[in-house]
Structure 1
Amino acid sequence: LLLSEVVHGQEMYAPHSIRLEGDITLGGLFPVHAKGPPGVPCGDIKKENGIHRLEAMLYALDQINSDPDLLPNVTLGARILDTCSRDTYALEQSLTFVQALIQKDTSDVRCTNGEPPVFVKPEKVVGVIGASGSSVSIMVANILRLFQIPQISYASTAPELSDDRRYDFFSRVVPPDSFQAQAMVDIVKALGWNYVSTLASEGNYGEKGVESFMQISREAGRQIPPSPRRRGGLDSVTSGGPCQPLRLLLCFLHRQILAAAKRADQVGHFLWVGSDTWGSKVSPLLQQEDVAEGAITILPKRATIEGFDTYFTSRTLENNRRNVWFAEYWEENFNCKLTISGSKKEKKPLCRGGQERIGKDSPYEQEGKVQFVIDAVYAMAHALHHMNKDLCADYPGVCPEMEHAGGKRLLKYIRGVNFNGQGAVGTQCPLNVRRSCCGVRVKEPWSRLPREALESPLERFQEHLDLFLCHLQEWGGGVRQVPPSVCSLPCKPGERKKMVKGMPCCWHCELCDGYQYQADEVTCLLCSYNQRPNENRTGCRAIPIAKLGWGLISVQLLGVLVWFAVDPPNIVVDYDEQKTLNPEQARGVLKCDITDLQIICSLGYSILLMVTCTVYAIKTRGVPENFNEAKPIGFTMYTTCIVWLAFIPIFFGTAQSAEKV
């Protein structure tokens, strides 16, 4: 019965907001629910990004209201709304904050008895804590500035929100994405990576974060051209592509990309540099450890608030009636069902009468932005405290002058806030809502080690990044050397680079073929007419001269030597051939002592080669034209045979004839 009364009281009190009475009311915007399907503004409850952050504001208000030195005699109240992670819905909800500032003409409104109605004036919201997503903060900031209501965000990091001309009433306690982008550029530079691929989620957070990275890369003079933003879903990103040597993926993106990489069987291939959506918690990486191993994550410099852990784990349905969404959180967190109407209809066991305990009966890990929510509330409280001291020095509580001071005056105090925030405990790092000088921190490559091993920072970052590269001792798969990430691997010797248009770090390797050699990285040239490329085609060398070998002539040489041994050459002087009638003109002719048979034998070997070549030329005449050398060889041999057939009878027929002049 008690459980039903508690839950019923939460539902009937205010189904869409939390209202806490106080002398000064602060607004709050939190993504208690996710986006709903088309046509439905809100979806499932967000246990961590929603409830943890919302409870952090309630915790901070409790701490401030119990602090005798901060806003003494003043109680802070709150009006907290759910943005449902949707900018348009958040805009509608934020109209609640400006109701008290809208003048309504009720002169013509009368009750049924003719009396003028009595309107309950809505509470005046002096400042707003939120929102979470950058796109939501941008939408809300546009309406809050019209009514001069200051706004302090605890999680919106889009760089464009730093524009004081457009968002002059917006402040934040987290560093902008340009800090993360600067850290990413320094990481890429320090580790020698010359090509990265960027992944961005839709919206201001992802797209503007990548734009900041690209802009800072260009300003730093670094040739780190990110590839075009990948489209076609997460699976298309991890399915490989023409740049297989590319390994580094720079992500302003949710961690569902890890599951896509696992589905594509790319475990161990990619290097991840993730923004603050990656490094804030370890639990979302469960079952994805092998894919995430070696990832470098970037976080706003933060600390775990132990007091909040004690506070939150002690929350129950009985002692937390002020949170109208806590019953829904209870069902989701403990995977049980409360015995009330309107709860979800899934097949869940009944809750144990509210006896469950957070952290004991369910896992608990403090959400990463809790500290910043607390810092944002404290920043607003410090500004109100200084404003109260200046305007109400001799007045206990909120004086009329402070009540009518307006948001523009409060904004000046907010911009002047400078205190040690919750994340700066034990450090010399005062908080400034415009700059958040503590900056960001980079966590070492993620490994499957105990939790405490994941927390050692690689750097200290305020104006620039000082990397402690000695911490980079092990990457994914036990690799100890910094893995490369390039668009294209270096070309081999003898290959030239064919550059990809518009991408100076990308090229295709083409072999210098034929008589070409590699003159430089991008040029192939022809060798001179008497040279050819060397073995690796990096230069030229002389073409060797073909000389008569000892193959075919060895048989002929052997026959000649045998012939010389059996019948050594000899000469004779023929006096008869040139014996003329005139004795003065008679001459002896020096001749080889050889017979006609011996001449035929000496020519027989050549005739044998000639006949053999002719026969093979005839047999190969049907070979395809591109490989057919038989036709010209055959024509040559046919001609040679005809000449020889004519030579032999002529030679022997005229050998005995005598020419007389």
Structure 2
Amino acid sequence: MRSFLDTSILSLILLSCFCSAVSSYSSSCQLQGQFNLNGMHKTGDVILGGLFRLHFFPVYADASFTSEPQQSSCYGFNVLGFRMSQTMAFTIDEINRNSNLLPNVTLGYSLYDNCLQVGAGIGAALTLISGQKEQVTLEENCAGTPPVLGIVGGSSSTRSIAISTVLGLYRVPLVSYFATCSCLSDRQKFPSFFRTIPSDSFQVNALIQILKHFGWTWAGLLISDDDYGHNAAWSFHSDLGPTAGGCLAYTEILPRYDPIEIRRIVDVIRKSTARVVIVFAHESRMINLMKEIVKQNVTGLQWIASEAWSSAAVLQAPHLMPYLAGTLGIAIRRGEIPGLRDFLLQIRPDLHHNNTDGNSMVNEFWEYTFQCRFAPPPAGWVEAGGELCTGEEAEENVKNELVDVSNLRPEYNVYKAVYALAYALDDMLQCEPGRGPFSNNTCAHLQRMEPWQMMYYLEKVNFTTSFGDQVSFDENGDPLPIYDIMNWVWLPDGRTKVQRVGEFKRSAFKGEELTLDVDKIFWNVESKQPPRSVCSESCPPGTRMARKKGEPECCFDCVPCSEGKISNTTDSMECTSCPEDFWSSPQHDHCLPKKTEFLSFHEPLGICLTTISLLGTFICVVVLGIFIHHHSTPIVRANNSELSFLLLVSLKLCFLCSLLFIGRPRSWTCQLRHAAFGISFVLCVSCILVKTLVVLAVFRASKPGGESSLKWFGAAQQRGTVLVLTSVQAAICTVWLVSASPVPHKNTQYHSDKIVYECVVGSTVGFAVLLGYIGLLAVLSCLLAFLARNLPDSFNEAKLITFSMLIFCAVWVAFVPAYISSPGKYADAVEVFAILASSLGILVALLGPKCYIILCRPERNTKKAIMGRGTKS
């Protein structure tokens, strides 16, 4: 609201300079004064305004509060600004010759010099929209075409902001060819502003894409102290980041001329590790900066130029090439305007009317640019260095200075701006009565048009230039953006060439797109390759970025990923955890399936245990064969040969059941291994227990009155006892498997990088009861055998049983703590070892001596020898 009031007050003050009422009852306004404006005009049915920078420097009159202040004057003629004004004049002439565009309307123009002043620009804009009539009658109904329907202009962002603020109050469209500030895209503040040059936000995006393309994540930024620079800095700080392209090492405001400040800035550049320097300023500031750069001999920098100086010829001097060669810059789209060169060649000064409106700028161009005078010179002209030029000399100067149309950039934007207004006017005049876009479906008429009606059609303009570029405006008045990427080439002969190496544009279908011909780019370094400019080197896969405290985001340390986590991209912000069954590689850059661990048949431990198991089984088979072959001998028949055979079978099953503990656990192996182990050992221990009971019964039967004890230990009773004892274990196993069956389990608690396959017992109580029952039978057998150890037989079976049971109990007593403390496959190995050790203990201690007698001492394999009646040897 405050901005609106300030603008309104400014407008009223300026308008007061033009007219005021003679009295409160007067019927007319009298023009009280005029701005001292330099311009050129051409009449027509519709007038288009133009604002151009025809001079570089204003000269302000001394301030005085006792008299009316004098208006400032300008000096330092700007040939580029003059050529742009002539481009507008040429474009209007071209449109007037075009029978298909505005066939019945003649365009005219009023072009003014803004002299690089905000005040002069606003004065020229108000002059254009209010006209120059000496008197305006109030009784008139304001009928007729307004002084101008649109203005081409705004040679800079600062001037355009001020002018557009005023013109927006009257809805007069302003089409700028050079104002790039992104702030002008605000439709609330600048409702009538349009432009044919992309905004700085797009230019910043283009520069960020260039940084990203070459991996330059660490850059310095120099800006001018105006709207152009400050808005660019805001865009950089908003859009630039590690993911977008990098960080800014420093941001400095580049003064116009302040030797001390410039020296400080160059010192910052020299000390910084950033090798890329972005300069978002005008060429005049770059000139002063380069003087200090050369003085301090700061080389090895990669300069990135904004469009304001990317094609500046004054900076392409030979003595600056060691520092500026290889510069990459953003340039306004270059176009071609057929016929413009011939039009410029026809420009001639008016030798007789030096101050006419139509030719004053042309005369000034010849005089100030070439120091030529065509009208009678003032006193002292020749003495002061002026001279009279001949026609041939002047024409040669014009060819060299004015008519170079090989690199039309801002002129091409002027060309498009004029055509945009012409196409909008053409669409307006082609409106069919009753189908118009305004109230009551009305159309605008040439005799009574309003600038706001022109704005409506300007927003919908869409045409293609002869060069092939599409021209239209979005909802913010911005065009379809496109920039040329330029590169400063240092030629072997010392000359400089600025060449196009790519483009950056936005299309409706592909979005923003950067195209670069990298092979054509000249790099001012020995390697002839893109230089590096990073605060910290990229973090390779397997590491993550850890920001350094108090420093920009692009300055970081590379921290290796922890175990089980990976990063498979460069400059990863975080390490990701591997899936459950995977583990990080040694380089932490990808996930590998976890190593699996179980007691395998292929590893040395598994091979050893398997060999022992098969060897024990083989021994059992051999012993069984021996016993079968010598089944009729006394030592085999003693103590029930059937139990001996059953014992050997059970021992063979014990050896074989150990194989179920080797190999990757499966559901069926987990369930079968403990059941087979429990039943096999109970069968074995039951046979030994029955043998012990038989020995005791025989010993008691040998005493008077003990014959009756043998009837309880006949063959049927022995088989029945073994069957009952084994059935109890079978019942325990059945209940355990039904209630809480053992299952295979992938254990990751022992080792994070391994999967340990094991069988979970399911029910600890069931497993404990199974082991406890075996232990009970073993202890009972051991105690009974111990009681019968001193029987008066030569071959005492009870001693062998006692010894074998002691081995058995010792193994399994040691097994419990070893099993509990052993992780993973080693628990299975401990259990297999206990099975094999106890089985071998029984086999060797109990059956070994019998095989020895059968095979090696057959003379002792007699009834007498067994009863202790034979001859001892």
TM-score of the superposition, structure 2-length normalised? 0.49
Counterpart in 1 of 2:329?
Answer: 297
Give the equivalent residue in structure 2 for 1:33: 55
Counterpart-to-counterpart distance in 1, 2:453 and 2:340: 32
Query: Which of the numbers 62, 81, 86 marks the counterpart of 1:50?
Result: 81
Task: Say which of 550, 573, 581 aligns to 1:501.
Answer: 550
**2:215 touches 2:245 (CA, 8 Å); kept in 1?**
no
Aligned: 1:17 with 2:60: no
Structure 1 residues 32, 435: CA separation in 2 closer, same or farther (over 3 Å shift)? same
Deviation at 1:92, TM superposition (A): 2.0
1:49 positional shift: 3.2
Q: In structure 1, how many angstroms separate the alpha carbons of the residues matched to 2:376 and 2:529?
A: 59
Following superposition, the deviation at residue 253 of structure 1 comes to: 1.1
Task: Within 5 Å, give how 1:122-133 maps onto structure 2.
Answer: 124-133=147-156
Partner of 2:505: 461
Could you tell me how far 1:484 is from its partner in structure 2?
A: 1.8
Conserved in 2, the CA contact under 8 Å of 1:29 and 1:130?
Answer: yes
Aligned-partner Cα distance in 1 for 2:432–2:150: 18
Q: 1:41 to 1:210 in 2, by over 3 A?
A: farther
Aligned to 2:365, which of 315, 325, 329?
Answer: 329
**Alpha-carbon deviations, 1:608-629, whole Å to 9, x = none?**
xxxxxxxxxxxxxxxxxxxxxx
CA distance in 2: counterparts of 1:359 and 1:306, whole angstroms: 22
Deviation (angstroms), 1:335: 3.1
Asked whether the 8 Å contact 1:317–1:326 carries over to 2, the reply is yes
Equivalent AA in structure 1 for residue 238 of structure 2: Q
1:361 CA displacement: 6.3
Q: Distance in 1 between matches of 2:190 and 2:490?
A: 40
Aligned-residue offset at 1:281: 4.7
CA distance in 2, matches of 1:405, 1:464: 38
State the Cα deviation string for residues 121-163 of structure 1 (Å, max 9, x = none). Answer: 9961111111111111111111111112111111111101111
Q: Distance in 1 between matches of 2:342 and 2:316?
A: 25
Give me the whole-angstrom Cα distance separating, in 2, the residues matched to 1:333 and 1:449: 32
Contact 2:209 2:245 in 1 (8 A): no
**Does structure 1 conserve the Cα–Cα contact (< 8 Å) formed by 2:53 and 2:114?**
yes
Q: Counterpart in 1 of 2:847?
A: none
Structure 1 Cα separation of the partners of residues 519 and 380 of structure 2:
48
What SS does structure 2 have at the residue aligned with 1:84? coil
Spell out, residue by residue over 1:211-241, the C-alpha distance to the aligned partner (whole angstroms, 9 max, x if none). 2222221495554135132455434322455
Q: Find the residue that maps to 2:339 and give its secondary structure.
A: helix
Aligned partners of 2:249 and 2:272 also within 8 Å = no
Deviations 1:140-187 (A, max 9, x none): 111111112111111111101111111111111111111110011111
Which residue pairs with 2:217 in the alignment? 194
- Counterpart position of 2:736: none
* Structure 2 residue 168 is the aligned partner of structure 1 residue 145: yes
Instruction: Name the CA distance, whole Å, in 2 between partners of 1:235 and 1:43.
Output: 31
Which piece of structure 1 moves more, 360-369 or 371-380?
A: 360-369
Alignment of 1:220-299 (within 5 A): 221-230=244-253, 233-240=261-268, 243-256=271-284, 257=286, 259-266=290-297, 268-282=299-313, 284-287=315-318, 288-299=320-331
Which residue matches 2:569? none
Amino acid at match of 1:86: Q
**The structure with more radius of gyration:** 2
SS in 1 for 2:230: helix
**Alignment partners' CA distance in 2, 1:452 and 1:228:** 29
- Are the counterparts in 1 of residues 42 and 109 from structure 2 also a CA contact under 8 Å? yes
CA deviations over 1:175-217 (Å, ceiling 9, x no partner): 1111110011111111111211111112111221222222221
Give CA-to-partner distance per residue, 1:86-122, whole Å, 9 cap, x none: 1122112221123259998867xxxxxxxx99x9x99
**1:421 corresponds to 2:465:** yes
The C-alpha deviation readout for 1:301-356, integer Å capped at 9, x for no partner, is 22132421221133111499723211111023323344445699541322225861
- Going from structure 1 to structure 2, the CA distance change for 1:289 and 1:122 (only over 3 Å counts) comes to farther
Task: Give matches, 1:303-322, under 5 Å.
Answer: 303-318=335-350, 322=358
Contact 1:45/1:328 (8 A) holds in 2: no
Residues 1:347 and 2:391 aligned together:
no
What is the distance in 2 between the residues matched to 1:93 and 1:275?
Answer: 29
The equivalent residue for 1:374 is 415
SS at match of 1:480: coil
Tell me, in whole angstroms, the C-alpha distance in 2 between the residues paired with 1:337 and 1:403.
Answer: 43
1:237-273 CA-to-partner distances (Å, cap 9, x unmatched) read 2245573422211011123425325433335332111
1:74 aligns with 2:105: yes
Contact 2:216 2:246 in 1 (8 A): no
1:164-175 aligned at under 5 Å gives the runs: 164-175=187-198
Contact 1:15 1:324 in 2 (8 A): no
Tell me the distance in 2 between the aligned counterparts of 1:285 and 1:332.
Answer: 24
> Percent identity among equivalent residues?
23
* 1:409 match: 453
1:499 shift after superposition: 4.8
* 1:225 match: secondary structure: strand
Alpha-carbon separation, structure 2, partners of 1:455 and 1:347: 38
Alpha-carbon distance change, 342 to 440 in structure 1, aligned in 2, over 3 angstroms:
farther
SS at match of 2:212: helix
Residue 146 and residue 241 in structure 1: after superposition, are their counterparts in 2 closer, same or farther (change >3 A)? closer
Secondary structure in 1 matching 2:50: strand
2:199 to 166, 176, 179: 176
Deviation at 1:406, TM superposition (A): 1.4
Alpha-carbon distance, 1:299 to partner: 1.4
1:60 aligns with 2:91: yes
Query: Could you tell me which of 513, 529, 533 is aligned with 1:485?
Result: 533
TM-superposition CA deviations, 1:425-452 (whole Å, max 9, x none)? 1x46444473322511212354337999
Normalised TM-score (structure 1): 0.64
Q: Residue 425 of structure 2 aligns with which residue?
A: 384
Is the 1:245–1:489 Cα contact (8 Å) retained in structure 2?
no
Report the CA distance shift for 1:314/1:261 in structure 2 as closer, same or farther (over 3 A). farther
Q: Distance in 2 between matches of 1:449 and 1:176?
A: 36
Aligned length: 476
Q: Give the Cα separation in 2 of the matches to 1:104 and 1:203.
A: 39
Q: Distance in 1 between matches of 2:348 and 2:276?
A: 45
Aligned with residue 439 of structure 1, among 482, 486, 498: 482
For residues 175 and 292 of structure 1, the distance between their equivalents in structure 2, rounded to whole angstroms, comes to: 25
Q: State the alpha-carbon separation in 1 of the partners of residues 321 and 348 from structure 2.
A: 33
Deviates more, 1:231-240 or 1:159-168: 231-240
Backbone CA RMSD of aligned residues: 4.0
Deviations 1:584-638 (A, max 9, x none): xxxxxxxxxxxxxxxxxxxxxxxxxxxxxxxxxxxxxxxxxxxxxxxxxxxxxxx
